[in-house]
Amino acid sequence: MTGEKSKHQDRNLRVLGIETSCDETAASVVEGGRKILSNIVASQASVHAKYGGVFPEVASRRHVEVIDRVILTALEEAHLSFEDLDAVAVTRGPGLAGSLVIGLNLAKGLALATGLPLLGINHLEAHIYSLFLLEETHPVHFPVLCLIVSGGHTELILMKDHGDYHRLGATLDDAAGEAFDKVARLLGLSYPGGPAIEQAARSGRADAYHLPRAMLEGTWDFSFSGLKTAMIRLVQRLQPETRPGMPPATGPLPLPDLAAAFQAAVVEVLVRKASLAARQFQATQLFVAGGVSANQTLRKSLEEAAPCPVRTPPAELCTDNAAMVAAAGCHRALAGEGDPLDIDVLPDWALGITAEGESIGQA
C-alpha cells in the first residue's frame, strides 16, 4: 500500500509493535503514535550475564520460547484483541539476524492471518520515536538532532521531518554501550555494563585517571576503541598478573575511580559532539535515545552544554522496547506506507543507506 492513503487516516491508529533485535522480547500496543496501552518487555539479561554479553544463538531460542506469550500479554493488558488493531509493526533491523527473524516471521504470520498491514521498522528509527511518545507534553518542531547511543550504535542523525533523516556521523568502531559493556567485563562488573559502571562511578573521582577522548575533529564520527585499549593498559598497570604461589602484588582495583574516569571520557565526547552539531544545524531539540541515554551523568552534562532543550525517554523506553516500534509504525501507517510480506531482515546499514542524507526509514 506504499504511496496510498491509509484507510485509517482519520482515527487514532492502534498499532501492535514487536521487537526482537537483540536480547529483549517485547510487544506493545500504542494508540495514535503516543498513547501506550501496554508495553511488555521480557528481558534475557540474566540469561546472558554469565557470558558477559549477548550470546546470539541463546537469544534467538529464548525469543522463540516467549514471544507468543509476550504478544498475548500486550493485547491482554491493552484490553484489546487482534480485531481492534490497525497494523503490525516489527523491528526489521539492524540487529542480530537470528533474533530479528523470530519477530519478523511472527509479525508476517499475524499479518497474513489477520489481514492487518505489516510495517518493517528500522531499529534506530524506533529509538528516535521513543521521544515522540512524549509529544503530548513536549511538542516536536523540526529539525531535531538525534543522538542514538545503544549497545550496537552511536549515531548523530539530523531529522528534518517524519521520515526525513540525515545521517551526520557514527562510531567507526565500538558503540558507546558496547564500550560500557566491554569495560565492565574488564573490571569484573556485571552485564549489562552501563548500569553497573554508572553505579560504581557514583562513589568515584572522574579525574582520578586521565583517559583519551577521540574527538575526530572535522567529522561527526566517534571512536571508542582507543579508550577501551587505554582502560586495558591502565588495569594491567594497576594489577599486574599475580605469579603462581605469590600473594597479589597489589590490592583490589579502585573500581569506583576507574568507572568514573571511563564514564567521564565517554560522556565528554558525546556531549561535545552532540552540542556542537545541535548548534551548527540549529536544532530545536536534542533527542537522546538508546540504552546509554539512561545514564544520568550523560543526561546532566547534555542539559548543561546543549544549545537547545534535551529530550530523553523515561527509563523504561531507553533500552529496547516495542512501544517505540509501534510509535514509528503509527507514523509510517499514517503516511500511507506499508510493506509486503516478503521483506527480509536488515542486518545492518549495509542496504545502501550508509551515506549522509539518505533515509533510514525504509530499505
Pairing mode, strands 118-122 and 87-93: parallel
Q: Which stretch binds Zn ion (CB under 5 A): 101-109, 141-149, 308-316, 319-327?
A: 319-327
CB of 127 to Zn ion, least distance (A): 6
With respect to ligand KG4, which residue has the nearer C-beta, 125 or 178? Answer: 178
Query: Which of Zn ion, ligand KG4, none does 33 bind, CB closer than 5 to 8 A by kind?
Result: none
CB of 83 to Zn ion, least distance (A): 31
CB of 320 to Zn ion, least distance (A): 4
With respect to ligand KG4, which residue has the nearer C-beta, 193 or 329? Answer: 193
SS3 state at 140: coil
> Can residue 320 be called a binding residue for Zn ion (CB under 5 A)?
yes
Q: Which of 93, 97, 20, 32 is nearest to 62 (CA)?
A: 20
Strands (E), 96-233: 118-122, 144-149, 154-161, 164-170
CB of 263 to Zn ion, least distance (A): 20
With respect to ligand KG4, which residue has the nearer C-beta, 152 or 338? Answer: 152
- Report the site for Zn ion in 126-185 (rule: CB under 5 A): 150
Q: Which helix or strand (DSSP H or E) is residue 124 part of? A: helix 123-129
CA distance 153 to 305: 22
With respect to Zn ion, which residue has the nearer C-beta, 122 or 150? Answer: 150
With respect to ligand KG4, which residue has the nearer C-beta, 145 or 197? Answer: 197
Given CA atoms 262, 265, 269, 271 in this order, what sign does their dihedral have?
positive
**For residue 171, what is its C-alpha cell?**
562510531
* Size of the chain, expressed as the number of residues it contains: 363
CA distance 152 to 154: 7
How big is the site for Zn ion, counted in residues (CB under 5 A)?
A: 2
Residue ranges binding ligand KG4 (CB under 6 A)? 22, 150-152, 177-178, 180-181, 192-195, 198, 290-292, 294-295, 319-320
CB of 266 to ligand KG4, least distance (A): 8
> Can residue 293 be called a binding residue for Zn ion (CB under 5 A)?
no
Q: Which of 334, 322, 302 is nearest to 156 (CA)?
A: 302
CA distance 359 to 356: 9
Q: For the chain, first and last CA: distance in Å?
A: 15
CB of 11 to Zn ion, least distance (A): 30
With respect to Zn ion, which residue has the nearer C-beta, 54 or 302? Answer: 54
- Residues forming contacts to Zn ion in the complex (CB under 5 A) are 150, 320
